């Protein structure tokens, strides 16, 4: 399937691009959002595009535009990346866009090991230059560790049964391919929702764990409070309820005033101010977009604006 950027127009409009502004696309992917931002930037605008996937970075560097700087970095390294790019963090940026999760090319390229639809090496790393593969982790993890990952990140009710089968199978020989893992999971799952492959939840859970996706998201959100200037926009698109829960909680906490003891002798202008103002309601892909791109059906976009005198995120 050809990659289609989800909520492309809505996300770029939510950033409210200033022609001379400085922006961050924390997840280049295949560049849909990056190219749309560049179209709206003026000659003095700047855009920093980050991605942990070497293939995505290679594609990004093929874009010949002096306003664009591309880095092979995780978005959780946002502050360090901006400093490395020569951006004065204390002056702030005008917007940060995060499109969370796995991209269509990563799923559709069997060799990456993300999908049970292909029999390929059991890798699952977004950054193939470092870290442990799914096969390596499954070879050493305990039944309890595997169970917790599959249950917590895949919300799989047969997590324990799957974990036991994995550990039993590796006693004979290591699991090295997606096909072997998928077959094993299907044998352990007694029932499944109509139309869903029994391996779906397990593959999702292992991918999230191997790439530390939720931890990376939880790290970058407070960093956006450090780098956004007053009036700067934070736009986050998530595709999984666990991701959206983290984003929703962060934005709501930053948009709420601090709770102080009653009758505290403070003037109104001395009260702690919220860090963010929520912009509109969460947005979802239109019916037309979902028809054209079924993977858009789970996408949720949340938008917030940095306020003056905002407190730093905890």
How buried is 44 (Cβ within 10 angstroms: 0-12 exposed, 13-18 middle, 19+ buried)? Answer: exposed
pTM higher than 0.85 for the full model? Answer: yes
Which conformational region is residue 66 in: left (phi greater than 0), alpha (psi within -120 to 50 degrees), or beta?
A: alpha
Q: Tell me what pLDDT residue 1 has.
A: 46
pLDDT number for residue 268: 47
Whether the CB-CB separation of 230 and 91 falls below 8 Å is answered with no
Q: Are strands 68-72 and 46-51 parallel, antiparallel or unpaired?
A: parallel
Distances (CA, A) of 231 to 116, 224, 273: 43, 13, 14
d(C-alpha 3, C-alpha 10), whole Å: 17
Per-10-residue mean pLDDT for the chain, 314 residues long?
A: 79 97 95 96 97 94 96 96 93 96 70 83 94 97 98 96 97 94 93 84 96 96 96 96 96 80 52 84 94 90 85 46
- Kindly give the residue spans of alpha helices, DSSP state H, lying in the chain: 8-15, 32-40, 54-61, 78-84, 104-108, 134-140, 143-154, 159-170, 178-188, 200-210, 213-227, 241-255, 287-292
- Binding-site annotation, residues for S-adenosyl-L-methionine: 31-33, 51, 75, 99, 106
Annotated binding site: 31-33, 51, 75, 99, 106
């Amino acid at each position: 399937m050809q990659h289609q950027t989800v909520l492309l127009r809505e996300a770029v409009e939510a950033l409210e691009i200033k022609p001379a502004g400085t922006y961050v696309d924390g997840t280049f992917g295949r560049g849909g959002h990056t190219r749309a931002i560049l179209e709206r930037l003026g000659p003095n605008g700047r855009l920093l595009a980050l991605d942990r996937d070497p293939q995505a970075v290679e594609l990004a560097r093929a874009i010949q535009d002096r306003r664009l700087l591309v880095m092979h970095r995780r978005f959780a390294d946002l502050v360090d990346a901006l400093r490395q790019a020569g951006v004065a963090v204390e002056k702030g940026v005008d917007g940060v866009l995060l499109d969370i999760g796995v991209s269509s090319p990563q799923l559709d390229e069997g060799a990456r090991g993300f999908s049970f639809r292909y029999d390929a090496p059991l890798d699952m790393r977004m950054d193939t230059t470092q870290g442990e593969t799914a096969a390596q982790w499954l070879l050493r993890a305990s039944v309890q560790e595997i169970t917790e990952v599959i249950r917590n990140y895949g919300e799989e009710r047969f997590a324990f049964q799957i974990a036991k089968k994995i550990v039993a199978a590796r006693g004979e020989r290591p699991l090295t391919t997606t096909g072997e893992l998928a077959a094993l999971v299907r044998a352990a799952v007694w029932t499944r929702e109509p139309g869903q492959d029994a391996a779906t939840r397990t593959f999702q859970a292992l991918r999230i764990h191997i790439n530390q996706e939720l931890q990376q998201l939880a790290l970058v959100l407070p960093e956006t409070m450090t780098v956004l200037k007053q009036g700067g926009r934070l736009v986050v698109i998530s595709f999984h309820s666990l991701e959206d829960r983290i984003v929703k909680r962060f934005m709501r906490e930053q948009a709420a005033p601090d709770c102080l003891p009653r009758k505290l002798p403070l003037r109104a202008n001395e009260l702690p101010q919220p860090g963010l103002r929520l912009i509109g309601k969460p947005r979802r892909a239109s019916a037309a977009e979902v028809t054209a791109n079924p993977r858009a059906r789970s996408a949720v976009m949340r938008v917030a604006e940095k306020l003056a005198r905002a407190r730093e995120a905890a």
